[in-house]
A = this chain, B = another copy of it.
Amino acid sequence: MTTETSEITETSETTETGRIPERLTADLSTADLSTADLHEALEAPALSSMNLLNEIAGHYPQAVQFAAGRPGEEFFDLEDVHAYLRAFTDHLARDRGMSPAEVRRTLYQYGRTKGIVHELVARNLAVDEGIEADPESVVVTVGCQEAMYLVLRALRTGPEDVLLAVAPTYVGLTGAARLVDMPVLPVSGGADGVDFDDLVAVARRARRDGLRPRACYVMPDFANPSGLSLTHAMRRRLLDVAREEGLLLLEDNPYGLFHGGEERTPTLKALDEHRTVVYLGSFAKTALPGARVGYVVADQRVADAAGRIGLLADQLSKIKSMLTVNTSPIAQAVVGGKLIAHGCSLVAANVREHQAYSRNLRQVLDGLAARFPAGAPGSAGVEWNAPTGGFFVVMTLPFPVDDALLEHSAREYGVLWTPMRHFYDGPGGENQLRLAVSTVAPEQIDLGLDRLKALITEWSK
Where the two chains meet, the residues of A that have a C-beta atom closer than 8 Å to any C-beta of B are: 1-4, 7, 9-14, 16-21, 23-25, 28, 30-43, 46-48, 50-51, 70-71, 73, 76-78, 81-82, 85, 89, 96-98, 101-114, 116, 134, 136, 142-143, 145-146, 149, 153-157, 172, 175-176, 178-179, 275, 284, 288-293, 300-305, 307-312, 314-315, 317-319, 321-331, 334
- In the complex the two chains form, is B157's CB within 8 Å of A322's CB? no
Task: State whether A109 and B157 are in contact (beta carbons under 8 Å apart), knowing that A302-B32, A324-B143 are contacts in the complex.
Answer: no
Tell me how far the C-beta of A23 lies from the nearest C-beta in chain B, rounded to whole angstroms.
8
Task: State whether A20 and B308 are in contact (beta carbons under 8 Å apart), knowing that A11-B321, A289-B109 are contacts in the complex.
Answer: yes
- In the complex the two chains form, is A31's CB within 8 Å of B110's CB? no
Beyond A78-B103, A330-B334, list 11 extra A-B contacts (CB 8 Å). A12-B109, A12-B326, A17-B113, A32-B302, A32-B312, A40-B157, A70-B109, A143-B325, A172-B325, A179-B319, A292-B328
User: Which among B41, B81, B113, B176 is the interface contact of A12 at CB below 8 angstroms?
Assistant: B113
User: Which among B24, B315, B328 is the interface contact of A331 at CB below 8 angstroms?
Assistant: B328
Tell me how far the C-beta of A144 lies from the nearest C-beta in chain B, rounded to whole angstroms.
9
- In the complex the two chains form, is B157's CB within 8 Å of A328's CB? no
Task: State whether A145 and B275 are in contact (beta carbons under 8 Å apart), knowing that A12-B112, A157-B40, A310-B20 are contacts in the complex.
Answer: no
- In the complex the two chains form, is A330's CB within 8 Å of B290's CB? yes
Bound: A143/B324 CA distance, A? 6
Which residue from chain B places its CB closest to the CB of A69 in the assembled complex? Answer: B110
- In the complex the two chains form, is B113's CB within 8 Å of A73's CB? no
- In the complex the two chains form, is A325's CB within 8 Å of B18's CB? no
Tell me how far the C-beta of A316 lies from the nearest C-beta in chain B, rounded to whole angstroms.
9
- In the complex the two chains form, is B21's CB within 8 Å of A134's CB? yes
- In the complex the two chains form, is A154's CB within 8 Å of B109's CB? no
Bound: A131/B176 CA distance, A? 33
A-B contact pairs, 20 of them (CB 8 A): A1-B97, A1-B98, A11-B113, A14-B114, A20-B309, A30-B301, A32-B301, A34-B304, A35-B315, A37-B155, A38-B302, A39-B154, A40-B157, A43-B305, A73-B108, A73-B109, A76-B109, A143-B324, A176-B323, A292-B328
- In the complex the two chains form, is A14's CB within 8 Å of B318's CB? no
- In the complex the two chains form, is B319's CB within 8 Å of A10's CB? no
Task: State whether A39 and B330 are in contact (beta carbons under 8 Å apart), knowing that A34-B302, A108-B290, A311-B21 are contacts in the complex.
Answer: no
- In the complex the two chains form, is A323's CB within 8 Å of B326's CB? no
Tell me how far the C-beta of A207 lies from the nearest C-beta in chain B, rounded to whole angstroms.
15
Tell me how far the C-beta of A357 lies from the nearest C-beta in chain B, rounded to whole angstroms.
16
Contacts of A34 in B (CB 8 A): 302-304
Contacts of A153 in B (CB 8 A): 39, 179
Task: State whether A303 and B33 are in contact (beta carbons under 8 Å apart), knowing that A145-B325, A328-B291, A330-B81 are contacts in the complex.
Answer: yes
